[in-house]
A = this chain, B = another copy of it.
Amino acid sequence: MRAPQVVRDPTLPERVTIYEVAPRDGLQNESALVPVDVKAEFVQRLVAAGLPVVETTSLVHPRWVPQLADADGLLARLATDGLPPSQALPVLVPNERGLERALTAGVRHIAIFASATETFARRNLNRALDEQYAMFAPVVSRARDAGMAVRAYLSMCFGDPWEGDVPLDQVVAAGRRLLDLGADQLSLGDTIGVGTAGHVTALLGELAAAGVGPDRLALHCHDTYGQALANVLAGLRAGVTTIDASAGGLGGCPFARSATGNLATEDLVWLLDGLGVHTGVDLAALTRTSQWIARHLGRPSPSRVVQALA
Report A's interface with B, CB cutoff 8 A: 1, 4-5, 7-9, 12, 158-159, 161, 164-166, 192-199, 201-202, 223-227, 229-230, 232-234, 256, 258-260, 264, 267, 270-271, 273-276, 300, 303-305, 307-308
Contact = CB atoms under 8 A, between A and B. Distances in A.
Number of copies: 2
A50 to B, nearest CB: 19
Given A229-B227, A305-B225, A305-B226, A271 B195 contact: no
Given A7-B199, A9-B198, A258-B307, A274 B1 contact: no
Max chain B C-beta neighbours (<10 A), residue from A258, A264, A305: A258
A165 B225 contact: no
Given A1-B192, A304-B223, A198 B165 contact: no
A interface secondary structure, majority:
loop
Given A9-B201, A229-B226, A274-B227, A195 B4 contact: yes
27 contacts: A1-B161, A1-B192, A1-B194, A4-B159, A4-B194, A4-B196, A5-B166, A7-B198, A7-B199, A7-B201, A9-B198, A195-B274, A196-B275, A197-B274, A223-B304, A225-B308, A226-B270, A226-B303, A226-B305, A227-B267, A227-B271, A229-B229, A230-B230, A230-B232, A230-B271, A233-B233, A258-B300
B7 A225 contact: no
A183 to B, nearest CB: 25
Interface-central residue, A226, A256, A267, A308, by most chain B CB under 10 Å: A226
Nearest to A10: B198
Given A259-B307, A300-B258, A307-B259, A197 B164 contact: no
B230 A304 contact: no
A267 B4 contact: no
B165 A5 contact: yes
Contacts of A195: 4-5, 274
Contact of A304 (B198, B225, B305): B225
A124 to B, nearest CB: 17
Interface centre among A161, A194, A197, A256 (most CB of B within 10 A): A197
A159 to B, nearest CB: 5
Given A4-B194, A227-B271, 6 more contacts: A1-B161, A5-B196, A198-B276, A227-B274, A233-B234, A260-B304
Can you list the 8 inter-chain pairs with the closest CB atoms, starting with the nearest?
A196-B274, A226-B304, A9-B198, A226-B267, A7-B199, A229-B230, A5-B165, A7-B198
A199 B166 CA distance: 34
A260 B194 CA distance: 21
A271 B199 CA distance: 10
